[in-house]
Structure 1
């Protein structure tokens, strides 16, 4: 018996030691890859093969960060986070059964985290094994001029994690064209609030900082006349007639053939107006989205000191990445950063889920889809102790000018505010260029009003 116990002890010690070495190896690889990705983000890359490799490096890096966090916190008692999703059983008759469910759930989570950890480590090993040529070529790429504030943006706002897409836009803008040539057109296609305007604004700031002789419409004013190349960014929300596009394009060509046009749209059909291959901005991967959300939600706080909050943030990121957008991640992260408390974060997560469930029940579609269509959504569950049902509606659909209504922030609405007015503007302003402002009208309504009641149906 003594030998058997000794055998088990030694086997467990070796296993723990092996896991410790793997963690150390993963940390070393993450530091190395993160350094290379950040260095690449500050240089001009025109080689298409390098852009593909840069995307692979970034994907492996975010996957590694997520796996490291999940593995570090997976063995703690915060598996309670997953157990809270199990059915509440209060009767003593079912306590034994509930205990079995909890332990079974914990084992499943541990096995999944271990599998993710090994997969992430393998991906980074493969990425680093083929990185020598990338680093050598990268060292020959020109550096961008960067301001100290850009470093803060890189750390705090990972919407700029789209490294390869940024380089594609830069390559498009830097490509020289004869003055007599037709203006080049780059379509950027992506869903609602995936960061199209933010990405272009970031690239434009780099171009200005590096003294590129491109003017934007804002630089030149509304006249758009005179000499010099012009960068025109066109946002298209609906279908465009071929004749109208031809008229617009001819006008741009008459100014300077070296000018460039960037189309921003949610419509895939807009790629037909491009003269180069379009850039498709897809939803961030879960690992990258989780990294971004935690960076925003924790702010300057150390996530390692709040293991339970890390677990909640991962679950929240899963909810937002699959069903919402980066804008929603920013909104909820701003709220959660005000109070690093487990019960508070769980409350916000619960309200977000109830919001989705209520709108699915009432209208048969996700609230994000309704917002994309400009339709009102029910937000009663988001407010603490609402006196009556509440809805968000687009500013354009309300007859009262937004500037004449009282304004609150999204954080104030969720944390401690009970709207007293019949209508209020809920405002969110992006913290990074182009500092887009999003306004919604918050108003009370009767549940049986034709505006909402006519669309209501129960989802089977």
Structure 2
């Protein structure tokens, strides 16, 4: 009996000592793993930024760069989540260790890439400071591989008698038009083609004999690029393609922009598919835009708010690049904790109405749009009784003058920096306006009257639930 008690006591004491040792060693191990990840991130960032300043034509190099950028974003997301978001310590250190291992493996795989980058020509120096900032603020973030792939298609000599056609397929607002515009502005493409024509589905619906004669003359005598924004109408496209094939130069190219997967069969080469950005990539973009030149480590209070804002706004599964850019620009305009908390309060008080919205309104509000959201301003208690329902989102790519766009932005309205005129029940507000081609602008309608009805319906539904209990 004494031997059994002695063995049990020894086992308990041993377990207790092991627990205490691991408990005291855990913060040190976690800090070491975080420091190691930070050093790996600096190395990866140096390689990625150097590569983004080069014209890389090798597809394998572009693929390696894309993988390294993905691991860079994943590592930054893991490190920031470990620092600024409360989590289980065991899971946190496990995630940091896994990120370190994955990122160091990716860095080891790109050693040859670093050497080969020295042979790649640099981009135009005079545009580098301008483009480097706006490249991150636009939908071009993380699209270097796709851009070089499209440039390679446009510059390669014709391999067959048919007119070369490349479809670009992607979901709504993943950056298809922005990618094409950046390629069209590239000096290599502008020097290769004499004319660049942009056509929509309405242009294809016209009879091919009634197309603009100047366009036909240009296509017959010069090397041309046709950018076709195709919504539907494969028959109109085939008539247009037949007309072009009879007249244009064999060195001309056609790029199709479409959301429909079946349009990928219209190309003479495999389609270029744009995938939505990952959460880690969006966080890397959002952090860089929101803090600008500031270091998040110097502002831990703002960093925690930024993490909460990002997680909240990512629930709005629509236009990720637009949401991130708009939100980051608003935060960067006022780098105070009070202003950032105000935006966070707006996010917390936002109600999203999905297509199946009957559960939100109790069936009393009819004909709500497929996607709309309800916000309450945060200026003060007196204004909280005036909710805003935002719906009917529209996108415009009008070039040049933005004078017809609304002057009031969505975040200015809901954060209290803009007021509503007395008696105004429905008006347009500006969600976001891009500063680079194709100068896309996003506008939504603010319906004050319908917002009040939605709030009343929601309150009635809450009271019914309480009575039912």
TM-score after normalising by structure 2: 0.73
- Determine which of 184, 189, 202 is the counterpart of 2:164: 184
* Distance in 2 of aligned mates of 1:289 and 1:132: 27
> Which of 69, 76, 82 does residue 71 from structure 1 map onto?
82
Deviation at 1:269, TM superposition (A): 1.7
Helix, strand or coil at the partner of 2:150: helix
What is aligned with 2:12? none
- 1:46-73 alpha-carbon deviations (Å, 9 max, x no partner): 3333232222111111111222222333
Tell me the distance in 1 between the aligned counterparts of 2:167 and 2:145: 16
Q: Which residue of 1 aligns with 2:56?
A: 45
2:240 aligns with one of 228, 248, 251: 248
TM-aligned CA distance change 1:152 to 1:120, over 3 Å:
same
Residue 206 (structure 1) aligned with residue 186 (structure 2): yes
Structure 1 residues 158 and 52, CA gap change in structure 2 (3 angstroms) = same
1:138 aligns with 2:98: no
Does structure 1 residue 223 correspond to structure 2 residue 227?
no
Q: Distance in 1 between matches of 2:213 and 2:429?
A: 31
RMSD: 3.9
Pick from 170, 176, 192 the counterpart of residue 196 of structure 1. 176
Query: Is the alpha carbon distance of 1:285 and 1:364 closer, same or farther for their aligned partners in structure 2, counting shifts above 3 Å?
Result: farther
Closer, same or farther in 2 for the Cα pair 1:309/1:140, shift >3 Å? same
Deviations 1:95-126 (A, max 9, x none): xxxxxxxxxxx5x2x33332221111111111
- The residue aligned with 2:411 is 411
Structure 1 CA distance, aligned partners of 2:404 and 2:358? 30
**Inter-partner Cα distance in structure 2 for 1:16 and 1:183:** 63
**Distance in 2 of aligned mates of 1:395 and 1:290:** 25
SS at match of 2:146: helix
Q: Is it true that 1:424 corresponds to 2:450 in the alignment?
A: no
In the TM superposition, 1:105-120 aligns within 5 A as: 106=87, 108=88, 110-120=89-99
Structure 2 distance, partners of 1:391, 1:363, is: 17
Distance 1:16 1:222 in 2: 74
Select which of 135, 147, 152 maps to 2:133: 152
Return closer, same or farther for 1:7/1:442 CA change in 2, 3 Å cut-off: closer
**Is the counterpart of residue 175 in structure 1 residue 166 in structure 2?**
no
Gap change, CA 1:437 and 1:405, over 3 Å in 2? closer
Instruction: Report if aligned partners of 2:353, 2:371 keep a CA contact under 8 Å in 1.
Output: no
The correspondence for 2:72, drawn from 53, 61, 64, is: 61
- Shift of the alpha carbon at 1:145? 2.3
1:348 to 343, 346, 353: 343
Matched, 1:268 2:261: yes
How many pairs were matched up?
Answer: 402
When residues 404 and 135 of structure 1 are mapped into structure 2, their CA distance, relative to the original with a 3 A threshold, is: closer
For the structure 1 residues 347 and 209, does the alpha-carbon distance in structure 2 shift closer, same or farther, using more than 3 Å as the test?
A: same
TM-score when scaled to structure 1? Answer: 0.74
Q: Which residue of 1 aligns with 2:46?
A: 35
Tell me the distance in 2 between the aligned counterparts of 1:445 and 1:317: 30
Partner of 1:234: 228
Aligned-pair distance for 1:449?
Answer: 8.6
Distance 2:84 2:116 in 1: 38
The worse-fitting range, judged by mean Cα deviation, of 44-53 and 116-125 is: 44-53
Aligned-residue offset at 1:249: 1.6
CA contact (8 A) 2:376 2:387 kept: no
Give the distance between the partners of 1:289 and 1:201, measured in 2 at CA.
21
Relative to structure 1, is the Cα distance of residues 137 and 305 closer, same or farther in structure 2, using a 3 angstrom cutoff? closer
CA contact (8 A) 2:391 2:444 kept: yes
2:84, 2:131 → 1: CA distance? Answer: 31
Q: For 1:302-381, what aligned pairs fall within 5 Å after superposition?
A: 302-321=295-314, 323-324=317-318, 325-342=320-337, 344-352=339-347, 354-359=349-354, 362=357, 375=369, 377-381=371-375
Q: Equivalents in 1 of 2:452, 2:80: separation in Å?
A: 47
